[in-house]
Amino acid sequence: MEECVRLPMERSVVEKACLGDERAFRRILEEHHALIYSVVHGVLQNRAEAEDAVQNVFIRIYRGLPEYRGDSKLSTWIYRIARNEALNAIAKRRTDHVPLDDCDGLQSAGGGPDEALEGGDAARLLGRSMERLDEPQRIAIDLRYRGEKSYEEIAEIMELPLGTVKTHIHRGKIALRRMLARGAAGAPVKGSGDV
């Protein structure tokens, strides 16, 4: 029932934003910020790049909103924009090379399992483990836990069957548990394909 009420309200907000209503546009951005960030960060795995990409997504939404036809939910349309922007950032990243001379002085963080979990290292270990998941698993888990989306919402946003979304999340969580256990035990963290 909520969906029936939401769609006309969504159209109304989009129409107002297209007519220049700043509050309506701000409302669209606020309602979809978590989705946008989850998608771009899930692909880029870099906070600074994700923040830049989010700003670019906002610009693309602003410019593209008059062309939005309403064939799909607004969140699905925004998901596509965010994902494309993240993929564009990756393509740009591939052309930006860091010379090896600039890498002097970089050191590996050592220490045992106790040190690895102190001072925020647990979050870094989780972040590194998330990076090693397959992209669909990473995005689905990010949308579920950071974006607080239901399985049904994730399926619609990612345009995947509900069962596929559940499988991505389930397998991703298993892979994360294994990688985190290895990382906390001081063993090298391997990719999700190695679990």
Instruction: Render pLDDT for 120-156 as a digit per residue (tens, 0 to 9).
Output: 677 778 878 888 888 889 888 988 887 778 999 888 8
Instruction: Render pLDDT for 146-194 as a digit per residue (tens, 0 to 9).
Output: 777 899 988 888 889 999 999 999 999 999 999 888 876 555 444 444 4
Instruction: Render pLDDT for 70-128 as a digit per residue (tens, 0 to 9).
Output: 888 899 999 999 988 988 887 777 655 444 444 444 344 445 445 544 546 777 788 78
Question: Could you state, in order of their start, the residue ranges of all structural domains in the chain?
Answer: 2-93, 115-194
**Predicted pLDDT of residue 49:** 92
**Predicted pLDDT of residue 192:** 44
pLDDT at 21 exceeding the cut of 90:
yes
Q: Does domain 115-194 have CATH number 1.10.10.10?
A: yes
Fold of 2-93: Rna Polymerase Sigma Factor; Chain: A (1.10.1740)
**Predicted pLDDT of residue 118:** 54
Vertex 131 angle, CA 125 and 135, to 5°: 150
Give the chain's mean pLDDT: 79
For the chain, give the secondary structure using H, E and C.
Answer: CHHHHHHHHHHHHHHHHHCCCHHHHHHHHHHHHHHHHHHHHHHHCCHHHHHHHHHHHHHHHHHHHHHCCCCCCHHHHHHHHHHHHHHHHHHHHHHCCCCHHHHCCCCCCCCCHHHHCCCCHHHHHHHHHHHCCCHHHHHHHHHHHCCCCCHHHHHHHHCCCHHHHHHHHHHHHHHHHHHHHHHHCCCCCCCHHHC
Instruction: Give the residue, 151 or 43, on which the prediction is more confident.
Output: 151
**Predicted pLDDT of residue 42:** 84
